[in-house]
Amino acid sequence: MRRARRNIAVLAHLAALSWRVSRAGSIVTAVVFLAVSFGSVGVAQSQRWLIDGLEANADDRGLTWLIIPVAVVAFAQVASTIATRVAAHLRVNLVHKVQAELSEEVYGYVARVPSIEHLERSAYLDRVYLAAKGSGALASYGWSIAETGVCTLMLGLSVWLLALVHPALLLLGLTTLPLMLLASRGQSALRRVIDAHAEATRLETHLHGLCLDADAAEEIRISGSGPELSARADRLWGEVTEAQRGALMRGTLLEAGGWLCYLLGLAGGLALVAGEVIAGRIGTGALVLVVSLALQLRTQLWMLRDNYARAAEAGRAARHYRWLRDYAQGFDDTETPAPQRLADGITLENVAFRYADGDAPVLSSLTAHLPAGSVVGLVGVNGAGKSTLVKLLAGLYQPSSGRVLVDGQPLSAIDPRSWAAVSCGVFQDFARFQLPVRESVGVGDLSALDDTPAITRAVAAAGAARLVGTLPEGLDTRLGTIFGGVDLSGGQWQRLALARGMMRTAPLLLILDEPTAALDPQSEHDLFENFARHAREAAARTGAVTVLVSHRFSTVSMADHVLVIADGGIAESGSHQDLLESGGRYARLYTTQAQAYEVRPGGGDPST
């Protein structure tokens, strides 16, 4: 019952979309659709009247009287054919418009989810893929159900007309039931196969996409792995199509059995009517009607089968659509806004985190306090969990256990979009927006997207003013070669990403997570100094907490407080100087890095 109500809600939403994209188109399509649906039975019945009238009156009045009935039948046939084509074109056009709206909704729901953990789960991505792929079927959901209902009604009317000729012809209607049941069973099996192979289909698309990806092109070409990637994608495609082919073959055999039942019933019905005509108990018009309706029954059965299949396909897409919508709307339940200013800071209480498919926890029982207005450095070997901790602070992940507190209030109780609006920074896996420079930087604060002075300030703070000055059209230069823009080096892309992270002037949380790998040590140091200045200004305004993650200890030394992450927790904490003097893990890491920069006597390479 609940499922039926949810389907009705989806249908109402689709009707509203159809009405919104084209009111006139919706009305005209519905009217023409109904006229076409009921016209075919009228044409068949008029043919019977014409034949029966011919038998009864041809000898008495000649053939002159036939002009008007023949004209009516011919007009009805032509009008039905034209209206059918017009209705098809109108519906296709309307469905395409609704599909565009649905596609925007699907990706809008994906975009409105404030966390990123779901993007790393295959099951979630499979359902998003199926929801997006099914938007076309879903757009025609209402029409498919309506046509299924009309076809069922038309089938019933056809059987009723046959029963008027002879009651035994009611049995012909019963022979349609095995066909529909067996066809439905085969179609359900095919839909299950498509759902089960969603991940393989996504992987095939991904592998083939790598062959066209400019970022991966260098490595693929130099390794010569392109043909192998394409071959693996082809094998996946072969596995998917083979599974679908098997389901189609089984469905076809089942459906063939259903059609055999119908054809046997039809042959018996025609034989019965022919015998009645020969015996003179019914007129020739009845035979013409039965033959005409038999042809229509076949067409109606095909239409019923196809429309039912489309409706079932749309129903499957609707399940994925409803799930995605509910998942995204689940994040709307929290209405508590983020504070305007931090008084105490951010606290982590026994925080643990385990990836969905991970065996061991990345973090376990991690407890720390990040005071308001402070700059905190995170240090640790690769894989220690520094980036994971940063994403927990930003609300991009939720702890497996424990709590993250913002001025004593659980972060999970704060509206995630509100917290995202007061967070900024740059991650090591930053995006390369192939947009004009002003938009590529401006999206760091959508409220200032058209604020040229704010964008110019952020560009200067990131040390990218000289770069922008050398571009052909300055801030209006389109970036990236995919859309005919200007390509940048890795370091130049990073500087613009840093400018994007400096767009917000009153954040509560600033993050710099190793985004400077393409910069030399001096450039990174200068950049961190600029970022530290930005952080101090934010701390004065809002009590903002700044988190720096870097492998270069000269950069981390700028932090007020340093946390050393190891074995899933905090191994050491304190100021840079205190940790050096303690002689612990931090001091050993610092000494190892410092020695790597020393020049050996005779100019030897310290790495050898």
For the chain, list the domains and their CATH numbers: 2-332 (1.20.1560.10)
The pair of three-digit structure tokens given for residue 57, joined into one six-digit string: 């009156």
DSSP conformation class of 217: H
Half-sphere exposure of 303 (CA within 13 A, CB side): 21
Beta bridge partners of 77: none
Greatest distance between any 2 Cα atoms in the chain: 128
- CA 435 – CA 457 distance, rounded (Å): 19
Does an H or E element contain 72, and which?
A: helix 67-112
- Of 503, 427, 422, 489, the C-alpha closest to 460 is 503
Is 366 buried (19+), middle (13-18) or exposed (0-12) by CB count in 10 A?
buried
- CA-closest candidate to residue 30, choices 110, 143, 138: 143
Residues whose CB is less than 8 angstroms from the CB of residue 352 and which lie 6 or more positions away in sequence, other chains included? 361, 363, 364, 365, 366, 399, 400, 401, 402, 568
- Name 352's bridge partners: 401
Supply the DSSP string of 304-337, one letter for each residue: HHHHHHHHHHHHHHHHHHHHHHHHHHGGGS--BP
pLDDT at 50: 54
How big, in percent rounded to 5, are the helix, strand and coil portions of the chain? 70, 10, 20
Helix H segments across 224-283? 226-278
Main-chain dihedrals φ then ψ at residue 315, nearest 5 degrees: -65, -40
Residue 376, φ and ψ in degrees, nearest 5? -110, 130
* pTM score: 0.68
**CB 296 within 8 Å of CB 77:** no
* DSSP code, position 414: B
- Reading the block at residue 314, the tokens are 């749309």
Instruction: Find all residues with CB under 8 Å of 216, minimum gap 6, and list them.
Output: 210
Are 352 and 367 in contact, with CB atoms under 8 Å apart?
A: no
Distance CA 353, CA 346 (A): 17
Please report the pLDDT score of residue 372 as a whole number. 93
- What pLDDT is stored for residue 566 in this prediction? 87
Question: Residue 379: beta bridge partners?
Answer: 564
Q: Report which DSSP code applies to 365.
A: E
Euclidean distance between CA atoms 27 and 4, whole angstroms:
26
For residue 339, the 8-state DSSP code is: P
Buried b (16+ CB within 10 A) or exposed e, 319-335: bbbbbbbebbeeeeebe
- DSSP at 237: H
Amino acid letter for position 275: G
Residue 336's region, left for phi above 0, alpha for psi from -120 to 50, else beta, is beta
Burial (CB count within 10 angstroms: exposed 0-12, middle 13-18, buried 19+), residue 239:
middle
pLDDT of the residue at 42: 57
Q: Cβ distance 310 to 363 under 8 Å?
A: no
Angle between helices 490-501 and 452-461 in degrees, nearest 10 = 120
Q: How far is CA 152 from the centre of its chain?
A: 34
Angle, to 10 degrees, between the axis of helix 141-165 and the axis of helix 284-329?
A: 160
What parts of the chain have a pLDDT lower than 70?
A: 1, 3, 34-81, 83-84, 214-215, 218, 283-285, 333-334, 356-359, 515-522, 525, 596-608
- Are the CB atoms for 198 and 128 separated by under 8 Å? no
| pLDDT at residue number 70 | 60
What local confidence, expressed as pLDDT, does residue 603 receive?
44
Q: How far apart are the first and last CA of the chain?
A: 73
Using the CB atoms, write b or e for 338-364: b if 16+ within 10 Å.
bbeebeebbbbbebbbbeeeeeebbbb
- Side-chain half-sphere exposure of 590, counting CA atoms within 13 A: 20
Q: Hey, how many other C-beta atoms are within 10 angstroms of the C-beta on 206?
A: 13
Cα(184)–Cα(255) distance, rounded to whole angstroms?
9
- What is the H or E stretch that residue 408 is in? none
Whole-number pLDDT of residue 534: 79
